[in-house]
Amino acid sequence: MKFKTVAILGAGAVGAYFIWGLSEKLDENLWIVADGERKARLEKEGILINGKRYPLHVRTPKEAHGADLLLISTKYGALQSILEDVDTVVDEHTVVMSLLNGVDSEEIIGARIGMEHMVYSMMKIASERKGSSIVFDAPSTLGVYFGEAGRSTPSERMLAIEELFRDTGIHSHMCEDIIRDIWYKYAFNVSRNQPQAMVSCGVGAYEDSEHMAYLCRKLQEEVVAVAAAKGIDISSMESDVGKGSPSNKGARYSTLQDLDAKRHTEVDMFAGAMVRMGKELSIPTPYNDFTYHSIKALEEKNDGKFDY
């Protein structure tokens, strides 16, 4: 098995990492999926990554039908709206990797196209948009983690993914327990993405402020409890997967970057999902409940609903 054509749905911070890594290896066999005005703009402008402009081979979902591998790298909030496009791209042999944050995107996509297409995966990257350029430090980026649920030995398609990323600069990691590792990352995002967004500070505050450290710890404890109720043990957060890519003290994670840019955040996937799962499992999640409403209020303020 070999992936000769790769389609990317979502050319933001995560998608840019794969455009950067795969463009030279795949050339015209690396496709960005878009249509309408967005297709025309991407074809005309390309994408600026770490100061270098990359031309893009853009295909509509229908034109990208039958890609060997589909990488989904949109924001979580766009997931429902792209399912039709995903369905159009995928044929019986297409393998799909969802690189979205959270713990349920594979199931949502798999319910539409069939779970047999899905390889579980996640990203760990510290990137940001500076003007029109997406910027990340490639050597220190931890990269993509992937695996098959319930399978610790490599399958044929896992080996094909490993081969695809070899010698590209993309850092990839084949996981023995990908579900647990996805929950490790989820706990990291819930506990570190959100407090800094509420306080509007760099990540160095988690080391310098006992109060930020306290909020981080309490949010993390709620994720650990919910995961345990689902039979997933993430009590040891010392795993490398439970840590972020190296960053300086002033780094701002995606939730705060969204608020800075007056965009809506992924809080529904973080605190919102935690509150929902907590209710389903009868597990209290007071810190995530408070966090959810705090960040929603900040979104409303950015929207101009109030400014006094």
Dump pLDDT digits (tens) for 173-214.
Answer: 999 999 999 999 999 999 999 999 999 999 999 999 999 999
What is the per-residue pLDDT across 164-173, written as a single tens digit (0 to 9) for each? 999 999 999 9
**What's the pLDDT at 244?**
53
**Rounded distance between C-alpha atoms, residue 122 and residue 142, angstroms:** 11
pLDDT at 153 over 90: no
Model confidence at 234, pLDDT cuts 50, 70, 90, reads very high
Q: Which of 1-5, 105-109, 119-123, 239-243 has the lowest mean pLDDT?
A: 239-243
DSSP-assigned states of every residue in 179-246: HHHHHHHHHHIIIIIHHHHHHT--TTHHHH-HHHHHHHHHHHHHHHHHHHHTT-----TTSGGGSPPP
Start-to-end C-alpha separation, the chain? 60
Cβ-based neighbours of 114, under 8 Å, separated by 6 or more = none
**Rounded distance between C-alpha atoms, residue 77 and residue 46, angstroms:** 24
With beta carbons less than 8 A apart as the criterion, state whether 231 and 154 touch: no
**Rounded distance between C-alpha atoms, residue 298 and residue 302, angstroms:** 6
Higher pLDDT, 203 or 247: 203
Model confidence at 247, pLDDT cuts 50, 70, 90, reads low
**What's the pLDDT at 237?**
64
Mean pLDDT of 37-59: 95
Coil, strand or helix at 127: strand
CA distances from 177 to 97, 173, 277 (A): 16, 11, 21
Closest CA to 193 of 302, 268, 282: 268
